[in-house]
């Protein structure tokens, strides 16, 4: 048990002063990292520390630049709708070389989770997962044919690979549909001026790589979104070492991951049926050396339980507990614990300042876990009431909340799986403001891969299953990555990209 921190004491003070804790946490989205909790608490009270009207406020010295954005303009030449002053650039398109001088490397299909790393020459790298569909997805849609639906697992894919591999002759470019292990991770490298200078694969021979998480030690953790998928760690660098499989993260449909170094925990989400569990892998102090990765083999897989139920957590902070999961190599859906709480499709997850934020797509909630206080609550629930956009009141509420990316000031970018094909910014009073809208049919494609450049002036997103300007794409033949340049910068902290051999 870690000692209670000043933040924990101040959170208790919030309630003691009669302030609304959910309002506090929403405001924390814009104050974490920018000002201390003590400053926020002072800012939301009167001269004597008593609460002011409205239940709280932000420190007047910090204002989100996102809140000043205007409404989305007409589509630009790339079909992207942006606020005034923003611009877009197409970086990578499926089956085309991002670097024309290197025609041998073609961009992957179905780009999904993404992350950014600094490089030692002043540039940066954007990594992108390929959620390419192969036999695990195709045959999983045919439950009436047991012989085929049984192939919708990684174990069966291993067998299929041994048969089809010599026939198809697997290439570094994943082929769609039934080619085994058609996923992986690719990278785009930029110089200090933001010019795209290299593109290359960093992981192959995996399947349906959905999302992941940037580690503080400069690597990329990502997983396979199938019932018995694995999680992996790879280097974002060209020739950064052989990716390693992380067996202590459970065999499940992996989504995003978030790292809590102080708490010696890695949080990760599951998305397989829309009735999913929330996990973490925890480590003893001796198994997590300072500055580097933990001894992954020593991790203990745990699953979240909210005994009072999620309806209670939608009303306010609700106690949680962590249960050791059954982690014996069987897929998690085969060994679910009755005590574990079922969430409506877990997606994005992010760690910031002692809080773990995550989204559930099927009910469009955003949750926060207070790691010190041991509670969970919803900070965004569309059923709470009308939610408008300060930029355009006609913008609909967020729908299909998926991956997230956050600044050091707690500003949260949320991308939509379908919905209205937007990336949205969550403001502290639950209003949302659109950052962009990608072209394409929301019934077919989605917005994926949000990540900020190290200078905080650019954000990267992908259109997963569409072509240029949102043109329709056949199954497994879509994918475009965009760079959005903003007229202002935000505070981020991208780690330095490192080789796997250099981080232990």
Q: Quick check: 417 and 446 in contact, CB under 8 A?
A: yes
Confidence at residue 170, expressed as pLDDT on a 0 to 100 scale = 45
Label each residue of 99-135 as H, E or C: CCCCCCCCECCCEEEEEEEECCCCCEEEEEEECCCCH
In this structure, how many other beta carbons lie within 10 angstroms of the beta carbon of residue 495? 17
Report yes or no on 53 lying in a domain: no
Q: Quick check: 301 and 325 in contact, CB under 8 A?
A: yes
Per-residue pLDDT band for 45 (boundaries 50, 70, 90) equals very low
Q: At what angle do helices 6-16 and 21-31 cross, to 10 degrees?
A: 140
Report yes or no on 189 lying in a domain: yes
Of the chain, the percentage scoring pLDDT greater than 70 comes to 77
Report yes or no on 475 lying in a domain: yes
Report yes or no on 33 lying in a domain: no
Q: What is the pLDDT of residues 361-379, one digit of tens each?
A: 999 999 999 998 899 999 8
Q: Is the dihedral of CA 76, 81, 87, 89 positive or negative?
A: negative
* Nearest in space to 182 (alpha carbons), one of 221, 208, 157: 208
Look at residue 221 and tell me whether its pLDDT is greater than 50: yes
Confidence at residue 23, expressed as pLDDT on a 0 to 100 scale = 54
Number of domains forming the structure of the chain: 1
Pairing mode of beta strands 375-380, 401-406: unpaired
Confidence at residue 147, expressed as pLDDT on a 0 to 100 scale = 41
Q: What is the pLDDT of residues 231-242, one digit of tens each?
A: 999 999 999 999
Bridge partners of residue 351, in order along the sequence: 356
Look at residue 384 and tell me whether its pLDDT is greater than 50: yes
Q: Taking residues 494-500, what's their average pLDDT?
A: 98
Look at residue 313 and tell me whether its pLDDT is greater than 90: yes
Q: Taking residues 275-287, what's their average pLDDT?
A: 96
Confidence at residue 418, expressed as pLDDT on a 0 to 100 scale = 82
Report yes or no on 173 lying in a domain: no
* Domain containing residue 374: 64-132+183-503
Report yes or no on 37 lying in a domain: no
Distance in angstroms (rounded) separating the CA atoms of residues 60 and 371 = 27
Q: Taking residues 204-232, what's their average pLDDT?
A: 94
Look at residue 282 and tell me whether its pLDDT is greater than 80: yes
The first and second tokens of residue 443, run together, are: 């019934």
Q: What is the pLDDT of residues 124-164, one digit of tens each?
A: 999 999 998 765 554 444 344 344 444 467 776 676 666 55
Q: Please report, for the domain that includes residue 189, its CATH number.
A: 2.120.10.30
Distance in angstroms (rounded) separating the CA atoms of residues 265 and 123 = 30
Report yes or no on 35 lying in a domain: no
Q: Taking residues 282-311, what's their average pLDDT?
A: 96
Per-residue pLDDT band for 253 (boundaries 50, 70, 90) equals very high
The first and second tokens of residue 38, run together, are: 């003590």
DSSP letter at 3 equals P
Bridge partners of residue 198, in order along the sequence: 189
Per-residue pLDDT band for 61 (boundaries 50, 70, 90) equals low
In angstroms, how far is the first alpha carbon of the chain from the final one? 27
Higher pLDDT, 409 or 130: 130
The first and second tokens of residue 455, run together, are: 């200078």
**Phi, psi for residue 267 in degrees, rounded to 5:** -90, 140
Whole-Å CA distances, 374 to 80, 169, 317, 465: 41, 51, 9, 39
């Amino acid at each position: 048990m870690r000692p209670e921190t000043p933040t924990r004491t101040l959170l208790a003070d919030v309630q003691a002063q009669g302030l609304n804790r959910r309002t506090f946490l929403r405001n924390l989205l814009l104050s974490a990292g920018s000002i201390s909790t003590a400053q926020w608490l002072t800012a939301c009270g009167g001269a004597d520390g008593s609460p002011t009207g409205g239940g709280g406020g932000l420190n007047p010295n910090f204002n989100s630049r996102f809140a000043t954005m205007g409404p989305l303009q007409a589509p630009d030449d790339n079909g992207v709708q942006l606020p005034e002053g923003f611009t877009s650039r197409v970086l990578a398109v499926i089956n085309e070389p991002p670097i024309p001088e290197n025609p041998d490397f073609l961009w992957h299909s179905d780009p999904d989770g993404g992350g950014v790393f600094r490089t030692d020459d002043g540039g940066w790298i954007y990594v992108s997962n390929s959620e390419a569909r192969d036999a695990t997805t195709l045959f999983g849609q045919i439950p009436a044919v047991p012989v085929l639906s049984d192939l919708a697992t990684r174990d069966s894919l291993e067998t299929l690979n041994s048969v089809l591999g010599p026939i198809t002759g697997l290439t570094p470019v994943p082929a769609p549909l039934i080619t085994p292990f058609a996923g992986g991770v690719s990278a785009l490298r930029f110089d200090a001026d933001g010019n795209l200078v290299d593109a290359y694969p960093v992981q192959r021979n995996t399947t349906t790589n959905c999302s992941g998480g940037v580690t503080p030690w400069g690597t990329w953790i990502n997983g396979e979104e199938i019932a018995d998928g694995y999680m992996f760690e790879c280097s974002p660098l060209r020739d950064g070492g052989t990716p390693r499989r992380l067996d202590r993260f459970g065999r499940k449909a992996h989504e995003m991951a978030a790292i809590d170094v102080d708490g010696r925990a890695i949080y990760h989400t599951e998305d397989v049926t829309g009735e999913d569990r929330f996990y973490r892998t925890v480590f003893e102090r001796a198994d997590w050396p300072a500055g580097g990765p933990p001894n992954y083999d020593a991790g203990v897989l745990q699953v979240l339980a909210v005994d009072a139920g999620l309806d209670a957590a939608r009303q306010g902070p609700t106690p949680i507990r962590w249960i050791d999961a059954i982690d014996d190599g069987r897929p998690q859906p085969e060994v679910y614990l009755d005590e574990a709480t079922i969430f409506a499709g877990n997606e994005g997850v992010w760690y910031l300042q002692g809080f773990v934020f995550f989204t559930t797509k099927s009910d469009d909630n955003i949750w926060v876990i207070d790691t010190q206080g041991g509670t969970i609550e919803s900070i965004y629930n569309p059923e709470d009431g009308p939610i408008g956009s300060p930029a355009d009141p006609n913008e609909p509420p967020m729908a299909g909340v998926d991956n997230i990316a956050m600044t050091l000031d707690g500003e949260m970018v949320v991308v939509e799986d379908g919905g209205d094909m937007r990336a949205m910014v969550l403001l502290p009073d639950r209003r949302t403001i659109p950052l962009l809208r990608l072209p394409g049919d929301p019934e077919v494609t989605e917005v994926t891969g949000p990540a900020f450049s190290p200078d905080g002036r650019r954000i990267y997103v992908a259109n997963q299953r569409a072509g240029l300007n949102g043109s329709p794409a056949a199954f497994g033949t879509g994918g475009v990555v965009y760079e959005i340049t903003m007229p202002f910068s935000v505070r981020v902290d991208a780690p330095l990209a490192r080789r796997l051999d250099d981080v232990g």
